[in-house]
Amino acid sequence: MEGTRRDRSAGAGADAIADWNRTAWNRQVARGNRWTQPVDAAAVAAARRGDFSVVLTPSRPVPRDWFPPLAGLRVLGLASGGGQQMPLLAAAGATVTLHDLSPAQLAQDRAVAEREGLAIRLEEGDMRDLSRYPDGSFDLLFHPCSNSFIPDPQPVWREAFRVLAPGGVLMSGLTQPVRFLFDEKKLERGEFEVRHSLPYSDFVHLSEAERAELQAADEPWCFGHTLEQQLGGQLEAGFVLTALFEDRGRGTGDGALDERIACYLATRAVKPR
């Protein structure tokens, strides 16, 4: 299935997709995209006192009881650049590594770390390849909504399971499949036209002209996954799901759909001991 979608992607194999998405996210930083704006000094100061709020999805904070005690916790931020969550977890006492595709997104975290005197290990790389990390090297993987930038999430679930220590926690932000069904332009105008199907791919479901328009706007390539890929994939990798909540976009471009259904999910999963 994935092979078919890649074959139909006008020469855009997995690496070409990642190449463009790296460029696109670098440019989104320059454009001031919401997901590239670093936290301020007040948020870091509060986090140092143990008072922090981070998101996996657009707006609902992750419940505090999802986190193990943070002091010395080995955290991997997976596709979590932008100077948002990782500086706060570092300020709260965790030992933080950030793995992200975009040098400009990593630079946002570097800037906060230098400004605030925080230690964050920065690693440029694809979320599907965590081979530089030994088995069991983290206690918490924090993975905000970003699987929609890769054609297949399964390699991420597999690698996440491997690099977590037994008892380790995976927190993920996921986009609901329904978010990918509708004609995007009409949705923005409050009209619902079911146009696409799942799994969704910009390369299968959009015309060449529509893709050119997205590239001109520095938008990353997007993919919509089924719940079987998102939740079943975690279970297949060996995780046990322990908690889940839904969230709404509230101004992230979900249009009228946002008023009718929560388009995002956050999951907490544990690697059994």
Residue 194 C-beta: closest distance to ligand SAM, Å: 25
In the bound state with ligand SAM, the residue whose beta carbon lies nearer, of 32 and 166, is 32
In the bound state with ligand SAM, the residue whose beta carbon lies nearer, of 111 and 240, is 111
Cα separation, 183 vs 263, in Å, equals: 15
Residue 118 C-beta: closest distance to ligand SAM, Å: 16
Residue 81 C-beta: closest distance to ligand SAM, Å: 4
User: 40 near 238, Cβ under 8 Å?
Assistant: no
In the bound state with ligand SAM, the residue whose beta carbon lies nearer, of 59 and 242, is 59
In the bound state with ligand SAM, the residue whose beta carbon lies nearer, of 153 and 255, is 153
Cα–chain center distance at 223: 12
In the bound state with ligand SAM, the residue whose beta carbon lies nearer, of 125 and 186, is 125
Q: What is the binding site for ligand SAM (CB under 6 A)?
A: 18, 21, 25, 35, 55, 79-82, 84-85, 100-102, 105, 126-127, 144-146, 149-150
User: 161 near 167, Cβ under 8 Å?
Assistant: no
For 228, which DSSP code?
A: I
Residue 16 C-beta: closest distance to ligand SAM, Å: 12
Strand partners, 121: 97
What's the Cα-to-Cα distance from 203 to each of 12, 119, 190, 208, rounded to whole Å?
8, 39, 25, 8
For helices 41-48 and 103-116, angle between their N-to-C axes, nearest 10 degrees: 60
Residue 41 C-beta: closest distance to ligand SAM, Å: 18
